[in-house]
Amino acid sequence: MLADVNLNTSKMPWREFGGGIDFKTLRTSPETGTWSVLFRCSAGSSFRPHRHLGGGEYLVIKGCMHIRGGAESGGVTARDGDYGYEPNGVLHDQTDFPEETVLFFTNDGPLQFLTDDHKPDFVLDVTMIEELSASAPIAA
């Protein structure tokens, strides 16, 4: 039987993702590889360079996010209420959060995180999201 998903996210604990970033898993789909999370990014935190191995979408709920250096460097600066789509295969250098930021993010596949010189480091996929959701420490 099919079931709807309805979560009271305000009652869910934030889990530590690392580097000043916390997350709440909203949904995972092992059948499709799709996963949806809320990210809470502290001021000064960042996501390392990464490549999308599936299309992704974000909605900035609060705060500010600089993708590829932000608008001043030819990239994107996303603020409260901004939506973005990131296609399969797109490469993002470091994504920075100059202020505390909360964003909804869903990806139709894994993210391949890279080292600073853009060599593959690890892949964040549905399985890893599910494991982190169960085992990552609860954030303060």
pLDDT at 85 (0 to 100):
97
| CA 1/CA 74 separation, integer angstroms | 48
Q: Quick one: pLDDT at residue 83?
A: 98
Residue 58 near residue 104 (C-beta atoms within 8 A):
yes
Comparing CA positions, the residue from 84, 89, 93, 83 lying closest to residue 52 is 89
What are the boundaries of each domain within the chain? 46-140
CATH topology of domain 46-140: Jelly Rolls (2.60.120)
Q: How confident is the model at residue 139, as a pLDDT? A: 95
What is the spatial order of strands in the sheet that 34-41 belongs to?
15-18, 21-29, 34-41, 101-108, 56-62, 83-86
In this prediction, residues 112-124 reach a mean pLDDT of 94
pLDDT, tens digit, 9 for 90 and up, residues 9-56: 999 999 999 999 999 999 999 999 999 999 999 999 999 999 999 999
- The string of pLDDT tens digits covering residues 57-104 is 999 999 999 999 999 999 999 999 999 999 999 998 889 999 999 999
Helix (H, G, I), strand (E, B) or coil at 135: helix
What is the pTM for the complete model shown? Answer: 0.94
CB 18 within 8 Å of CB 64: no
**pLDDT band at residue 5, thresholds of 50, 70 and 90?**
confident
What's the pLDDT at 1? 76
